[in-house]
Amino acid sequence: MGPGPINAHPRVLRAMSAPLVGQFDPAMTEYMNEVMAAYREVFRTANEATVLVDGTSRAGIEAALVSLIEPGDRVLVPVFGRFGLLLTEIAGRCGAEVHTIETAWGTVFDEQEIIDAIHRVRPALVALVHGDTSTTMLQPLERVGAVCRDEGVLLYADVTASLGGNAFEQDAWNVDVATAGLQKCLSGPSGSAPISLSPAAVAVLDRRRSVEAGIAAAGATVSQARIHSNYFDLAMILDYWGEQRLNHHTEAASMLYAARECAALLLEEGIDAAVERHRRHGAAMLAGLKGLGLTVFGDEAHRMNNVVAVNIPDGVEGDAVRAAMLTDFGIEIGTSFGPLHGKVWRVGVMGYNARRDAVLTTLTALDSTLRRAGFAAPADAGVAAALAVYAEEAR
Amino acid sequence: MGPGPINAHPRVLRAMSAPLVGQFDPAMTEYMNEVMAAYREVFRTANEATVLVDGTSRAGIEAALVSLIEPGDRVLVPVFGRFGLLLTEIAGRCGAEVHTIETAWGTVFDEQEIIDAIHRVRPALVALVHGDTSTTMLQPLERVGAVCRDEGVLLYADVTASLGGNAFEQDAWNVDVATAGLQKCLSGPSGSAPISLSPAAVAVLDRRRSVEAGIAAAGATVSQARIHSNYFDLAMILDYWGEQRLNHHTEAASMLYAARECAALLLEEGIDAAVERHRRHGAAMLAGLKGLGLTVFGDEAHRMNNVVAVNIPDGVEGDAVRAAMLTDFGIEIGTSFGPLHGKVWRVGVMGYNARRDAVLTTLTALDSTLRRAGFAAPADAGVAAALAVYAEEAR
């Protein structure tokens, strides 16, 4: 019940134990096509260029940034938590001229602030996090997307933590590139990064396309603007997933099976229903934590559905409570990073764990643990508060 | 029965369906420590810095090269196949001044040629492939390693295709950095890249270490010689696997389970026994293919144990035979890349597929398929020749 990774759905675990098939076996290429189609629905996009990067969600982020950013490009990163800082870090390593705007951790930007910064900086790319688990905040994007489209600026969004548990509309919001992972609301393991790129983003790749020596019969072709990574060269990765099937990496078949099953689960449930499930159980968890006498960290109006941060009470040792929750009840909750380390607990309600029994079990275990740590609410007040939310919603 | 990926061992498939645990759960950190210890045995090294890179074998290669190469460094790459060309490609993207020596595909270098080039080029790093599946050749390394040690040159070896099926001794041969994958002789899926780095290689990383903003309480620290990738920054990856457990990526738990089981299988069998198994079944396959009237491609004296390349006979359409093998018998065999595409077939005998039944079934299926393609050997001559090898070895 931490901020992710979380327990995978049993169907996803089972999918990973399916026998492997060769990467150019027609069965495998058909799976790849199915994955592309499924993630178009998941991202709510018509983008042909919708594939997996073989690595964790961070691999997806780096693939997007290193493939889109040429050294010297101006990149604007609005930072409202740790994962915004990560974008500045990666963009810097890609040689970008990084411009940041910042807002206090626990808040989001008024979209107009970002738009003003776009007009001031005139970046080639705006890179931001949709939902930053470090602060639990969800940044509205729609107006920013429209401005980027009108101004010819590319917009990248890291939707790792938000996708499937909060509304996200890649095409309607004019997000050029989105990357995700499986280990949050998609109920899967870390290790595969779905990505989708708009035609405008693919046009950037087309200018930077290279073909490896040893692959092309005609020898290598190298773009002047060659991408500074081979593994994350999205032009090559698209050639691998596309009709040409040009050999690149060896597809991580088991992780592809996992990604395919994650998408199947989400689409069977329906994306809107999944978002509503995360909202409902997240609201119950929020109420329950308040019922335990804890105060919520950050702007509740912009909270992600799938994770709640609460302030660690004075006099309570945060890590001891986390250790007791894990040792005594087998339940993991998180703290956060940097300035919030040891200041907040983060409780996830996501993916396979966005369930009534998981919420109530976590609350009663935390009630017991906090009581022994000397922080006592009225008996069972957490569970009662969560049950009240469920009862209210059932009416 | 292609050159990899191959069928995973059933125990590895089962391991991947184990429930996930959080990345800082003591159970998980203990698994990580077990993986480090196991791969030290697999690589035959005492290197503390022995971990997994979360991505395919190509991710391991890029992590090694981008972390070790500073722009402008001279790098010597002896090329004897497609994967040597890949090393030049990646090293070039890392900003290296790349120097190559080449030998005909199907041969290996006399080690003295590489040593002479080291003395001529004076590189910071020698990067080469141990076993290149594109040509099936296995490059001897021991004298090169000794010279690199004496001259203070780092030696990187890509052992993806060779490890576990051919002798490899990282420490005895003075190989500073080795990277692998699971999908060849280790009987696992693609998607995790074991890597081991010598103290001399770690010293390079130590000079280039950065800490992310948002992680360090004291703010970011950035090395002047910052590594041009965050995801592949091995200094950070070692801090994540080490005692500090500094957050970096979210470990791909299911792939770690797979890597752990692959190592357990190999160490239970014994590395020497596994190499001998690959030698024996590879020899039977070689004899069987000759029995079918096919001629071997390349220098038989330097063939890898685990893959055989044969010339596609005149008048036989190579891809049609491969398609028939797959459609009619469910058996995949490969062709090769670049100059060898459509000229050779590559038949793998590796990992879980290095078995008598797999060898004989492949040979009898190929006998049948070739016969219908108009290329006929005496009836059952392939299987008979392989059985003769097994009978000879059993005496």
Q: pLDDT tier at A377 (50, 70, 90 boundaries)?
A: confident
| B135 to chain A, closest Cα gap in Å | 12
A213 in B contact zone (CB under 8 Å): yes
Looking at chain B from residue 66 to 105, which residues have their Cβ under 8 Å from any Cβ of chain A? 66, 81-83, 85-86, 88-90, 93-95
- pLDDT at residue A223, as a whole number: 76
Q: Cα–Cα distance between A10 and A14 in angstroms, integer? A: 6
- pLDDT at residue A219, as a whole number: 66
A25 in B contact zone (CB under 8 Å): yes
**E strand or H helix at A126:** strand A125-129
- pLDDT at residue B348, as a whole number: 97
A332 in B contact zone (CB under 8 Å): yes
- State pTM to two decimals: 0.96
Q: In chain B, which residues have their Cβ closer than 8 Å to the Cβ of A23?
A: 5, 190
- pLDDT at residue B210, as a whole number: 85
CA dihedral sign of residues B27, B28, B29, B33: positive
Q: In chain A, which residues have their Cβ closer than 8 Å to the Cβ of B17?
A: 13-14, 16-17
Radius of gyration of chain A measured on its C-alpha atoms: 22
> Which tokens sit at B192?
């995790």
Q: Do B93 and A255 touch (CB under 8 A)?
A: no
- pLDDT at residue A154, as a whole number: 98
> Which tokens sit at B111?
């080690």
- pLDDT at residue A393, as a whole number: 86
Looking at chain A from residue 251 to 290, which residues have their Cβ under 8 Å from any Cβ of chain B? 251-255, 258
Tell me, what's the ipTM?
0.96
Report the residue of chain A nearest B160, measured CA to CA: A250
> What string of pLDDT tens digits covers the 395 residues of chain B?
999 999 999 999 999 999 999 888 899 999 999 999 999 999 999 999 999 999 999 999 999 999 999 999 999 999 999 999 999 999 999 999 999 999 999 999 999 999 999 999 999 999 999 999 999 999 999 999 999 999 999 999 999 999 999 999 999 999 999 999 999 999 999 999 999 999 999 999 999 988 887 766 666 777 778 999 999 999 999 999 999 899 999 999 999 999 999 999 999 999 999 999 999 999 999 999 999 999 999 999 999 999 999 999 999 999 999 999 999 999 999 999 889 999 999 999 999 999 999 999 999 999 999 999 999 889 899 999 999 999 998 88
| B150 to chain A, closest Cα gap in Å | 32
> Which tokens sit at A159?
């939707």
Q: Which amino acid is at B337?
A: F
> Which tokens sit at B195?
């890597």
The three state secondary structure string of A356-380 is HHHHHHHHHHHHHHHHHCCCCCCCC
| Partner-chain residue, chosen from A13, A190, A214, that has the shortest CB–CB distance to B337 | A214
Query: If we measure between CA atoms, which residue out of A347, A355, A263, A341 comes closest to residue A310?
Result: A347
- Is the pLDDT assigned to residue A216 strictly greater than 80? no
- pLDDT at residue A348, as a whole number: 97
Q: Cα–Cα distance between A137 and A74 in angstroms, integer? A: 26
Q: What are chain A's domains?
A: 10-267 (3.40.640.10), 270-394 (3.90.1150.10)
- pLDDT at residue B110, as a whole number: 98
**E strand or H helix at A120:** helix A111-121
- pLDDT at residue B365, as a whole number: 98
Q: Which amino acid is at B199?
A: P
When pLDDT is averaged across residues A364-390 and rounded to a whole number, the result is 95
Q: Cα–Cα distance between A378 and A288 in angstroms, integer? A: 12
- pLDDT at residue B168, as a whole number: 98
- pLDDT at residue B218, as a whole number: 60
Q: What is the DSSP-derived secondary structure letter of residue A301?
A: G
- pLDDT at residue A218, as a whole number: 60
| Partner-chain residue, chosen from A5, A85, A254, that has the shortest CB–CB distance to B189 | A254
- pLDDT at residue A217, as a whole number: 60
pLDDT digit string, tens, across residues A345-376: 999 999 999 999 999 999 999 999 999 999 98
Q: Say whether the peptide bond before residue B5 is cis (omega within 30 degrees of 0).
A: yes
> Which tokens sit at A364?
């009663």
| Partner-chain residue, chosen from B213, B252, B258, that has the shortest CB–CB distance to A89 | B213
CB burial class (10 A; 0-12, 13-18, 19+) of residue A94?
buried
CB atoms within 10 A of CB A220: 16
Q: What strands lie across the sheet with B193-197, from one edge to the other?
A: B49-53, B193-197, B177-179, B154-158, B125-129, B74-79, B97-102
The answer to whether A147 and A97 are in contact (CB under 8 A) is no
- Chain centroid to Cα A310, Å, comes to 21
Alpha helices in B138-198 (DSSP H): 142-151
